Amino acid sequence: MTSVPTPVPIPSRTQFVLDAIRHRILAGRLTPGQALVETELATLFGVSKTPVREALKTLAGTGLVVLSQYKGVTVRTVDADMAREVYDVRLLLEPEALRRSVGRGAPLDAARSALQRADEATDPAERSLANREFHRALYLPCGNPLLGRMLDEVRDQAALVSAVAWAADPSWELEAAEHREILRLALDGDADGAASALHAHIASFVRRAFPETRSAEGRE
């Protein structure tokens, strides 16, 4: 059986800085390509540079920021190629994970709760975080921890793509309606129907947001 390493706990100050920077990126207050200077962030958050440095390393690992020898740390730039790579992974893995979750009869209360938080969100960052939790609540109980971790690795990048797309053309109401249909099918125990609806949801978003990009489905 595959062994899944236990995540290393993040110190509280580092977690505070990590959450704050992530929220600012997803809210559009820190824009793609913008430099993130350790001393400025440390002053902003009232901490030393150490938790800022550790938070930026973690964010680089999730794909929200980029570490460069010459440019330092910057918010990751979103383009059609980046969106295609992230959404190709989701198209390949996420519908199957949901199919398995439904097939196992996994409880989906967390997904229902996340959907409600997304509907009640007052800013794009809150809505983005709630949407991420909705999708995670669908795939995490699939019965394969490694599959869940693989999808977790692209969550921040997918959220960044969404944030940039929403800033240009808000489409969250359409996506919310698609989320409700996916959840309805899942709660009805229709594993194949829920997986198909999720696949269509993921594929249609990247086509709307980046018309010049073809998904993995379109290239097959």
Q: What is the pLDDT of residues 75-91, one digit of tens each?
A: 999 888 888 899 999 99
Strand partners for 65:
75
What pLDDT is attached to residue 52? 96
Phi and psi torsions of 202, nearest 5°: -65, -45
What pLDDT is attached to residue 220? 38
Q: What is the pLDDT of residues 23-77, one digit of tens each?
A: 898 878 898 899 999 999 999 999 999 999 999 999 998 889 999 888 899 999 9
Q: Tell how far CA 90 is from the center of its chain.
A: 10
Calculate mean pLDDT across residues 177-187: 97
What pLDDT is attached to residue 212? 63
What pLDDT is attached to residue 210? 78
pLDDT at 185 over 80: yes
Per mean pLDDT, which range of 35-39, 121-125, 210-214 is the poorest? 210-214
What pLDDT is attached to residue 4? 46
Better pLDDT: 176 or 123: 176
Q: pTM of this prediction?
A: 0.78
* Burial (CB count <10 Å: 0-12, 13-18, 19+), residue 96: middle
